[in-house]
Structure 1
């Protein structure tokens, strides 16, 4: 049974492909259960974000797991084959550690991915698909991420997706302070965006969500400054979209919630004053056709990568240090895996020795009951036990072919050092 990391990300696949492979959060537990029931997969966890969809699993048949991913999303395996990577054992561990540490993110060093990975672990635990191998892998991943962030400059001058959205908006309007901002959704990404934009003191900021209570709670969280904060129902977007200069959207909707017609009507009401729209969702929340409108500056998660340059030099320098930490921790984890794989052999060896000991002890007790001297009984017991324990290694040495003899002799010397000390 090997460990695999299977999937695609922003390095290997365009947004149009990634959004077709996204798992909805509420569907993940059932999907994990289906995978482990229907395929030869013993352990599994799925990380699905705007930038990646990855399946971490313990299996001897990774191709079957990949076929399931394609079938689940109703995509032909040949369609996604050019974008998929299949990493095994050492490469898989190294990849997971890099992802957790932010080294594989679109924004180098961003911390959000660690929270997303922890959520993926919680879902897998709840679904009952996280065994000892993946549990230990993820715990080591979290420890590595903490070590990398605390001992290197990988987090220095970090540019998050939210900060990048602010940067894009400032390119168009010069300043956020005079603008009206709309955040659609109430998840972690929107919380980050709301925090960044609230810090720029816009004129007003609204949170729109299907659950009004969550929207209001998020609006209340950033209330108190000069910015007017309030909540909207999602079904109010049609009437209120024209009020906003900047629109940020990140929901888990499988279909776009802001269509071309809705934006066209808003632009007419605005008398074609420009709008910045940032679609952080995968699948997209805003119809791609909106990008063709003259007065809209529409950006997707892929576009944000182009403006992530602040602090890049210091973060790139930290990658070397971070990678050295990761390489050392990968080696440690693989040693643990190898030791774990040796457990059955160790148990069998100890069981064999215990059987021999019990047999000789029984014979010794019978000899004592017959009146034989304790000294003679102990001598016989020790000789018999030694002969039986040495029978296997002695036979192996005697029957070893010439080309293997040197290796076996070295192994025997290591197993049975002279005078009870290492040679």
Structure 2
């Protein structure tokens, strides 16, 4: 069995290219079905697969008897509408121990834009659950991910990897504070109601802004989040008409197309008499048209723009990173040992089945002898000899076949298997 990974993230691919391969959680199931059905059934029956898709990465994990990286690259390139060569130039491909090390580092927050952040672990668990629900997660990938979760837990328990991490939401608050002298005088609009927006609202609410509003496609979900922070909820359709009211806009939805266009922002700036608007687009693909950034009174930041902010304090975490890598190395060795043992499972099953067949045959023979009146001692002697002969037959036949070199090798193997002394 072999495991392989194809991925692209914030360090290898620009934001717009990552957006082509972003999958919302409700898209994971049909996407996994499409991926698995694309493999040739003869060489790759029942390929295990999982997809992790976040604002910073899209990664495909597969397991099968034979590696199929080229096929996986071709499938993902086609799904994103790009040439395989372009995808390869911005992607990474890993297999076996390298794939295991990578997923352990991702789960532990070592491969995130925010070093040590914990949000990725929850996103990975959601992705694994989605793969399980569609029947795409077999024994091998299940072991890989469960071990990655265990390693991540040990890293967070035994090191201070997350002690100094700055979340994307906290970075947005920090940048907003540089533009506005007093955040308590600002009106903040959040677009979306998912986990990232929940985190952003929590951070901005701590600064006690003048007002908070949640715009969401589903009004009920927006109201639920707004109520927690004493804010108001509005329909997404009302956003263009009300955009001018807000000094700060933070957006993160699962939309495949921008929902805040250049024209809407231009009209809002005119109504605000060109008072500045601070905008944060945390979505992949983008929620806000990139042309908005060129407007004079708009300060637009994407997830990639926040990278230099969240990396501050990196030096303080290097000792923790070194400790975490030691834990991860141990986890990789343990998984590869398990994976290696998996190849012997069919042989072990066959040996057990053969032994059971021999045992059943000798038991049946013993019962017949007992029924004929044979003594118990004689029956036990016959049964033990029968079992011994069956077990030794193959080894003895091999010792008498082949040339001298092969017989010598066979003799060494048989000695190791049958002549081990008790210690």
Task: Work out whether residues 259 and 287 of structure 2, in 8 Å CA contact, stay in contact via their aligned partners in 1.
Answer: yes
Give the Å deviation of 1:400: 7.4
Instruction: Give the Cα–Cα distance (whole angstroms) in 1 for the partners of residues 403 and 226 of structure 2.
Output: 77
For residues 176-325 of structure 1, what are the structure 2 equivalents within 5 Å?
176-223=183-230, 229-325=231-327
SS of the aligned residue for 1:181 comes to strand
TM superposition score normalised by structure 2: 0.91
Cα distance change on mapping 1:158 and 1:375 into 2, 3 Å: same
SS of the aligned residue for 2:47 comes to strand
User: Which residue of 1 is the match for residue 12 of structure 2?
Assistant: 12
Instruction: Give the Cα–Cα distance (whole angstroms) in 1 for the partners of residues 300 and 409 of structure 2.
Output: 66
**Structure 1 residue 144 corresponds to structure 2 residue 151:** yes
Cα shift readout 1:313-364 (whole Å, capped 9, x = no counterpart) = 2322211111111111222222222333322111111222222233333444
Cα distance change on mapping 1:350 and 1:13 into 2, 3 Å: same
Q: Point out where structure 1 has 5 or more consecutive residues left out of the alignment.
A: 224-228
User: Which residue of 1 is the match for residue 107 of structure 2?
Assistant: 100
**Structure 1 residue 43 corresponds to structure 2 residue 48:** yes
Instruction: Give the Cα–Cα distance (whole angstroms) in 2 for the partners of residues 215 and 365 of structure 1.
Output: 76
SS of the aligned residue for 2:185 comes to coil
Q: CA RMSD in A?
A: 2.2
Instruction: Give the Cα–Cα distance (whole angstroms) in 1 for the partners of residues 189 and 402 of structure 2.
Output: 77
User: Which residue of 1 is the match for residue 174 of structure 2?
Assistant: 167
TM superposition score normalised by structure 1: 0.91
User: Which residue of 2 is the match for residue 72 of structure 1?
Assistant: 79
For residues 75-94 of structure 1, what are the structure 2 equivalents within 5 Å?
75-94=82-101
Give the Å deviation of 1:218: 0.6
Instruction: Give the Cα–Cα distance (whole angstroms) in 1 for the partners of residues 404 and 205 of structure 2.
Output: 77
Instruction: Give the Cα–Cα distance (whole angstroms) in 1 for the partners of residues 207 and 404 of structure 2.
Output: 78
SS of the aligned residue for 1:86 comes to strand
Give the Å deviation of 1:248: 0.7
Give the Å deviation of 1:411: 4.9
Instruction: Give the Cα–Cα distance (whole angstroms) in 2 for the partners of residues 236 and 212 of structure 1.
Output: 11
**Structure 1 residue 348 corresponds to structure 2 residue 350:** yes
Q: Point out where structure 2 has 5 or more consecutive residues left out of the alignment.
A: none
Give the Å deviation of 1:49: 0.9
Give the Å deviation of 1:102: 0.8
Task: Work out whether residues 154 and 314 of structure 1, in 8 Å CA contact, stay in contact via their aligned partners in 2.
Answer: no
Cα distance change on mapping 1:404 and 1:91 into 2, 3 Å: farther
SS of the aligned residue for 1:182 comes to strand
Instruction: Give the Cα–Cα distance (whole angstroms) in 2 for the partners of residues 325 and 137 of structure 1.
Output: 15
